[in-house]
Amino acid sequence: MIQKPKGTKDLLPEESYKWQDAEEKVKNVLENYNFKEIRVPVFEYTELFQRGVGETTDVVQKEMYTFDDKGGRSITLRPEGTAGVVRAYLENGMASLPSPVKLWYNMAMYRYENVQKGRLREFHQIGAELIGSGSYLADVEVILMANNIFNSLNIPNISLNINSIGCPKCRSNYQKILKEFIGKNLDDYCDTCKSRFEKNPLRILDCKEKKCKEFNVGAPKMIDYLCDDCKEHFENVKMMLNEANIKFQIDSNIVRGLDYYTKTVFEFVDEKTGLTVLGGGRYDGLVEEFGGQHTPAVGFATGVERLMEMYEEYNKNINKKIPDLYILSQGLEENKKAIKISEELRKRNYIVEKDIFERSFKSQMKYADKINAKNLIVIGEDELKNGKAKIKNMSTGEEKDIVLEVADILKNL
Ligand code: HAM
């Protein structure tokens, strides 16, 4: 039998209703902040991610699903949402809309990763991008919104870690200092770190190799080298988060895996597993990088599979949609009546099932039981003739006499 590719998941009905439930709650939070949904293509020209996410990142160097299409163009399945959304913002003239432009998305992403718990090759992100404001208030707004996603899903045991990675100006000064520190042991770092030394030494701090981690102990921290503007911005973010009673830690090791970040970066981490469930930050240079005017922006994305793990752990009674009614019927005229009634009820938003097998009453009854139908009505010869039937509540066993018309059935659902 052909199996699904490694790192992908089938979302079966026994889980999809939980996703729908959570997605609806998250969507409400995003819309309460007046973010509007955007959907962008699954694939983009490869250059978009090379320029946006950055040539020296793991995502671009190792993880992209890239191929030439039949016209010989290099195409990449989106590994993240921000680059595509910013492209769409520019391409569709959204820069002339009232600023800021606030967009959210729920989209599948593709990264060729080592598959492990919480790390898939096809995964989903719900993300938000606030484009246009450079104020610390925008950082605070998206962090509050992210925090409210966890509140709305009743997910505890999440910690917020924040950091500032400065702007290109203070970062280039810091990079010099960092290179001096790393340079002393560069020959003994792993090959990936060596290749990043010239272009992106900050990424070396994020290396997971044991020996590199050891050399990194005591490295100078970006946060100690911020320029006045970045320092003030970060102080204001912290002040306002405190004001809003949001608990956070400063984690100077957060550098994030994508190159477009500037100033504030943040991650919401599952305290039990240590997995980052939501990550984001400011990216003041990306719109310009893609050919637009200088336009500061800030956003985040949450990994829906990781979010759902937590949602299911802390919410045991997620509303499952089960049929309100099963109509048993047999015979041509009885089936006509069953179709008429079930169509009327479905129009009124009730979940109704009926026989579509021409099965015996006994097997219809068995099926109704298996699907946990809340109520049952039998339409047989007598019921049809008299225009009367019984409706049975399957959880209490109670039976009631009804007129075999929609109005009377509705009173009993
Ligand atoms: P990211 O940190 O690469 O950021 O991904 C955001 C979240 O997606 C992660 O925190 C994680 O929960 C989830 N995620 C990432 N990779 C995987 C994977 N292989 N399997 C399962 N889940 C995964 C971004 O993508 C940025 N675009 C976020 C952003 C938006 N920054 C500003 N705006």
DSSP secondary structure string, 320-340?
A: ----SEEEEE-SHHHHHHHHH
pLDDT at 256: 87
Buried b (16+ CB within 10 A) or exposed e, 355-385: beeeeeeeebeebbeeeebbbbbbbeeebbe
Residue pair 234/128 in contact (Cβ under 8 Å)? The answer is no
- pTM of the model as a whole: 0.94
Cα 338 from Cα 329, distance rounded (Å): 7
Give 110-139 as a DSSP string.
E-----BTTB-SEEEEEEEEEES--SHHHH
For the chain, domain boundaries: 13-167+227-314, 325-411
Identify the H or E element spanning 353.
strand 352-354
Round to whole Å and give the CA distance between 148 and 294.
30
Note down pLDDT in tens along the chain; length 413 residues.
Answer: 999 999 999 999 999 999 999 999 999 999 999 999 999 999 999 999 999 999 988 999 999 999 999 999 999 999 999 999 999 999 999 999 999 999 999 999 999 999 999 999 999 999 999 999 999 999 999 999 999 999 999 999 999 999 999 999 999 999 999 999 999 999 999 998 998 898 889 889 888 889 999 999 999 999 999 999 999 999 999 999 999 999 999 998 888 889 999 999 999 999 999 999 999 999 999 999 999 999 999 999 999 999 999 999 999 999 899 999 999 999 999 999 999 999 999 999 999 999 999 999 999 999 999 999 999 999 999 999 999 999 999 999 999 999 999 999 999 99
What is the pLDDT, as a whole number, of residue 255? 84
Closest C-alpha to ligand 1, atom 11: 303
Question: Is 347 exposed, middle or buried, given 0-12, 13-18 or 19+ CB atoms closer than 10 A?
Answer: exposed
Three-state DSSP class for residue 39: coil
Write the residue with the smallest CA distance to atom 1 of ligand 1: 279
H/E stretch holding 145 reads helix 136-152
CA distance 37 to 343: 32
Nearest atom in ligand 1 to the alpha carbon of residue 277 is 12
| Strand-pair partners of 101 | 131
The encoded tokens of residue 243 equal 């004001």
Nearest-5° angle of CA 199, CA 200, CA 205?
Answer: 150
Give the ranges where 43-130 is alpha helix by DSSP (H).
46-52, 58-62, 82-91
Tell me the CA–centroid distance for residue 258 and ligand 1, in Å: 10
Ligand 1 midpoint to CA 72 (Å): 29
Q: How far, in Å, from the CA of 162 to the mean position of ligand 1?
A: 16
Q: What is the largest CA-CA distance in the chain?
A: 95
- Cβ atoms of 354 and 329 closer than 8 Å: yes
Ligand 1 pocket: which residues have CB below 6 Å?
A: 80-82, 111, 113, 118-120, 123, 125, 127, 129, 257-258, 276-281, 283, 299-303, 305-306
7 touches 77 (CB < 8 A): no
Residue whose C-alpha is closest to residue 157's, from 50, 344, 313, 354: 313
Give me the sheet containing 66-68, strands edge to edge: 43-45, 74-77, 66-68
pLDDT of residue 56: 86
Q: HSE on the CB side for 54, CA within 13 Å?
A: 17
Residue 75, SS3? strand
Mutate to test the pocket of ligand 1, among 87, 258, 266, 267 (most ligand atoms within 8 A of CB): 258
* Residue 361 DSSP one-character state: H
CA–CA separation, 96 and 338 (whole Å): 55
Measured distance CA(314)–CA(193) in Å, rounded = 39
Characterize 99-113 residue by residue with b for buried, 16 or more Cβ atoms within 10 angstroms of its Cβ, and e for exposed.
ebbbbbbbbebbbbb
Q: Which of these CATH numbers, 3.40.50.800, 3.40.50.300, 3.30.2230.10, 3.30.499.10, describes 325-411?
A: 3.40.50.800
At residue 107, the 3 state secondary structure works out as strand
> Does the domain made of 13-167+227-314 have the CATH classification 3.30.930.10?
yes
CB 140 within 8 A of CB 201: no
Q: What is the DSSP letter of 5?
A: P
State which of 102, 109, 254, 286 you would mutate to test the pocket of ligand 1, scoring each by most atoms of that ligand within 8 A of its C-beta: 109
What's the token pair of residue 60?
A: 């671009």
Q: How far is the CA of 126 from the centre of ligand 1 (A)?
A: 9
Residue 301 C-alpha to ligand 1 middle, in angstroms? 6
Tell which atom from ligand 1 comes closest to the C-alpha of 283: 32
